[in-house]
Amino acid sequence: MTYLLELLISGLSIGAIYGLIAMGFAIIYKSTGLVNFAQGEIAMIVAYVAWTIASHVNGNIFVVAGGAIVFACVFGLGIERLVIRPMIGEPIFSTIMVTIGIAVVLRSSIVFLWDAVPHSLDVGIGNKVLVIGEARVRSGQLGVIALLLIAIAGFYAFFRWSRFGVAMRAVASDDRTAMLMGVSAARVQAVAWAASCVIAGIAGVMFAIIHELSPTMFVLGLKAFPATILGGLDSVLGSALGGFIMGAVENLTGGYVSPSMKEVSGFIVIIVILMVRPFGLFGERRIERV
């Protein structure tokens, strides 16, 4: 029972990281119809910036968190304004290829700007060992699970009750009608990119705190994208829950079946579920963008 609990908490913690990045995929898709394949690289870049800040302020958590969030927001706005907005009106395939190009550039910049050596991100929290029953878990694992739950509640309230959240839903549903009603699609797109980068950055920082900081962190985006598909590419909250499912399935499979099956187990689940629900667990049955 203790082993099961440790596997489950560990799986949910890495699943929470997948879920945060998956929410970023879904936010951009809902607002623009675009899949941003640079999500993992953005999470990695923000984590490296947080590590740089931490090394200069002796790991002050408030300064590190504030600096990383501000950087992620500005970084997302910069990408949207300088790279994505000029692509408006171009074929969606071309814009997706641009995001792949952004991913390659960001991935290569790590070694150029920093180094290829793994580092630990020490901000004074996340490494304390807690005992739940007889299971031993790290506080950072519980912390990232809590962060995803807070993000789910926050985005649910945002999309349901805030005026800007309703505007984002309107643009996602029918951007031309929304613009005729006075909604600025460009502003919605900019906010979507900023929000996506912030939550991806939070995921990257939490991964670096719990595990390590390294140039291979970009694979988090490749792991999170199936979670988005599983939950529904057009469902922000469903993508978050898809991350939980992916993480739990991976860890339980690695612990009880075979470590070699851990990497593919989540994809097997996706294949089975998409055969029944091609639009994902929580996605809309038909998604049309005109």
What are the residue ranges of helices labelled H in the chain?
2-32, 39-56, 61-79, 92-113, 139-161, 163-173, 175-180, 185-210, 219-231, 236-256, 262-276
Among candidates 137, 140, 145, which has minimal Cα distance to 12? 145
Task: State residue 290's pLDDT score.
Answer: 39
Intervals of the chain under pLDDT 50: 287-290
Q: Which residues contact 36 (CB under 8 A, 6 or more apart)?
A: 24, 25, 28, 99, 193, 196
Token match 């055969």: residue?
275
Helix (H, G, I), strand (E, B) or coil at 277: coil
What was the pLDDT predicted at 174? 67
pTM above 0.85, yes or no: yes
Question: What does the alpha-carbon distance between residue 181 and residue 179 come to, in Å, rounded to a whole number?
Answer: 5
Quick: pLDDT tens for 7-55. Answer: 888 889 999 999 999 999 999 988 877 889 999 999 999 999 999 999 8
- Give the phi and the psi of residue 132 in degrees, each rounded to 5: -115, 105
Q: Are 82 and 98 spatial neighbours (Cβ–Cβ below 8 Å)?
A: no
What pLDDT does 288 receive?
47
CB 49 within 8 A of CB 213: no
